[in-house]
Amino acid sequence: MSDLWSDLLDCLGLRALPSPPPQPGTGGAGVQLPSPQSARLVFEGPNQQLSYHRLFGGQLLAQFVRAASLACPGKAVKSLHVLFPRAGRTDETVRYEAECLHEGGTFATWTVVARQRSGVVATASVSMHADEGGPDHQTVAPVAAPLSPEHRVELDLLPWETRASADLDSPAAQPPELDLWMRTPEADPHLAPALLAYATDLTLIGTALRPLEGVSQQDAGKAFTSAVTSHTVWFHRPFRTDEWLLLRQHSPLVAHGRCHGRGDVLTTDGSLVASYAQEALLRFRPADRPADQPSS
């Protein structure tokens, strides 16, 4: 686990590259930030050393967060919406091209494009926001204490402690819900949004599969093909990942060869710190199509 953790942290250390020549009227060149209304910056990130057959989407989500944070250091990532048009290669670094569309006193909007030689592997629309005061209210269900150690699960791509309310590898039909508790090793709070974005990509497809009798996430590549097509994360409040976080998620829909899932992230005191949603391809082989089962 420690090697995977170090590997992930290395992936978050993006390197600034020379920027492309400025467009007419933009002013400036190189990696130094030009005028806010025309900023274009480029970063490069290494890939995780995994046996996975393509780039893990969580890595791309985490690196998008880091690219935006480095490009706009005076503001925090408020929301991230990512599209995945093609699979990325694990044997080639990813180049992140960030462009500022607007920067005001408290808000900013950036686009970030992830490229490899084959072309664009993912695109992100990123909204940034400077901290400011105002009313503070939420309406969410209460949070129970973290699950006990006997609920500990090993999720191969998450190099930290996780405890789950359900077994996503079980083929028995169950409601499409999952409570996943997570806690990373000690980590720089500035990396928390990237680390959380990484974690949100892993278990929503498995959650969507739960109502389908006789199939689970273990059947990926055999009974069905899956791939994330879009993923969104909203960050509401500051948080740390080296303290317990609850990822409370639910999948309301599997239809037309796709699945949809969403979740909230809460601290042990019940504070809602982030939310996320995902759509994915979920294509079953005709002979393996499961029958819908009651979820209660």
State whether 75 and 93 are in the same domain: yes
Q: Give pLDDT tens digits for 127-158.
A: 999 988 899 999 999 999 999 999 999 998 99
Confirm whether 296 is domain-assigned: no
Full domain range(s) for residue 61: 1-17+38-132
Q: How far is CA 293 from CA 26, 83, 173, 279, in A?
A: 58, 31, 7, 21
Number of domain units in the chain? 2
State whether 49 and 176 are in the same domain: no
Q: Give pLDDT tens digits for 171-188.
A: 999 999 999 999 999 999
The pTM assigned to this predicted structure is 0.89
Predicted pLDDT of residue 1: 47
State whether 147 and 117 are in the same domain: no
State whether 240 and 277 are in the same domain: yes
Confirm whether 29 is domain-assigned: no
Average pLDDT over residues 8-34: 70
State whether 66 and 191 are in the same domain: no
Confirm whether 81 is domain-assigned: yes
State whether 159 and 68 are in the same domain: no
CATH code for the domain of 3:
3.10.129.10
Confirm whether 102 is domain-assigned: yes
The token duo for 151 is 């609920």
Predicted pLDDT of residue 216: 92
State whether 262 and 211 are in the same domain: yes
State whether 92 and 193 are in the same domain: no
Closest among 218, 222, 201, 223 to 280, alpha carbons compared: 201
Residue 206, classed as helix, strand or coil, is: helix
Cα–Cα distance between 99 and 41 in angstroms, integer? 6
Q: Give pLDDT tens digits for 246-292.
A: 999 999 999 999 999 999 999 999 999 999 999 999 999 876 555 55
